[in-house]
Amino acid sequence: MATLYTHKDANIRKTWLLMALFLAVIIAVGWFISLYLGDPAILYVAIVFALVMNVGAYWFSDKIVIQMTGARPVTKAQAPELYRIVENLSITAGLPLPKVYVVDDPAPNAFATGRNPEHAAVAVTTGLLQILEKTELEGVLAHELSHIGNRDMLVSTVAVVLAGFVAIVADIFMRTSLFGGGRDNDNRIHPIVLVLGIVGIILAPLAAQLLRLAVSRKREYLADASGALLTRYPEGLASALEKISSYARPLQRANHATAHLFISDPFGAGERKSVWNKISNLFATHPPIPDRVRALRGSDAQQPGGGANI
């Protein structure tokens, strides 16, 4: 029978597989453009540029996210209960105490950011603090601390940057082609390779976006599993997710660039009810709440009658 541990191991393997596919897409795009334009150096420039972008985005990601979300730091005196839960969970998880922030917004949500556990931050909205019971809040915060412990911020940041880089490169290639770039090299490329390459370039941004979103969804399942193991009470997080999903209005400062960092879709946690549900879920930054709740309640880590042992 599958347990939270096996779910965690499977999600780690699948996530790194998706990251490998990302790198393969970038290498393929760079290789074809260098072949099309007759300049082998383009491939090396593309790889180096992608790595430089990754390092820069990773180093400054926490400051950028805090500014974009409007989160404000709070002290232990201002939010003693919130601080106590974060402190106890951090000790249990063996993590340094992250900085604690609050977002003034009635929509219940939370996120974690930072380049590593030593430079991490967790933030919750005022709406979340108002509607959740203690065990539910513990479940949400354990989920966010699991993102920190699992090094999800690095994986998420790399995925975002790589997806954006593929889109930029594809756009540059299409513009160059329209203005005649590379036509002198067309005769040196097999027609089938040329057609497949152009089709691949056109579809690369869509594929990269889908892979980025898939990485985000896998990280949510992994953080749910890890958070439930941390509190030893999956029902707390499951109940919190149900409450969060019942609030369908978006965050006041919802942003597509940071949407994947939140515990639930900041553009509206309510599940989509249209005939396009399955298609729209392909482009969602988060897996459906009912699926996450079923995974939590179906695990054998469930312990009746308990809260977090902290």
Q: How far apart are CA 258 and CA 64, in angstroms?
A: 10
Rounded to 10°, the helix 234-245/191-231 angle is: 120
Spell out the residues 6+ positions from residue 290 whose beta carbon is closer than 8 angstroms to its own.
271
Residue carrying structure tokens 């036509």: 183
Let me know: does 268 contact 248? Beta carbons within 8 Å.
yes
Question: Which of the following is catalytic: 81, 118, 133, 144?
Answer: 144
Q: What gap in Å lies between CA 240 and CA 218, rounded to an integer? A: 19
What is residue 101's DSSP assignment? E
Strand extents, DSSP E, the chain: 72-73, 99-103, 110-114, 120-125
Cβ partners under 8 Å of residue 137, min gap 6: 82, 85, 124, 128, 129, 240
Whether the Cβ atoms of residue 280 and residue 274 lie closer than 8 Å to each other: yes
* Number of CB atoms found within 10 A of residue 253's CB: 15
Q: Is 235 a catalytic residue?
A: no
Residues 6+ apart with CB under 8 A from 273: none
- Active site members: 144
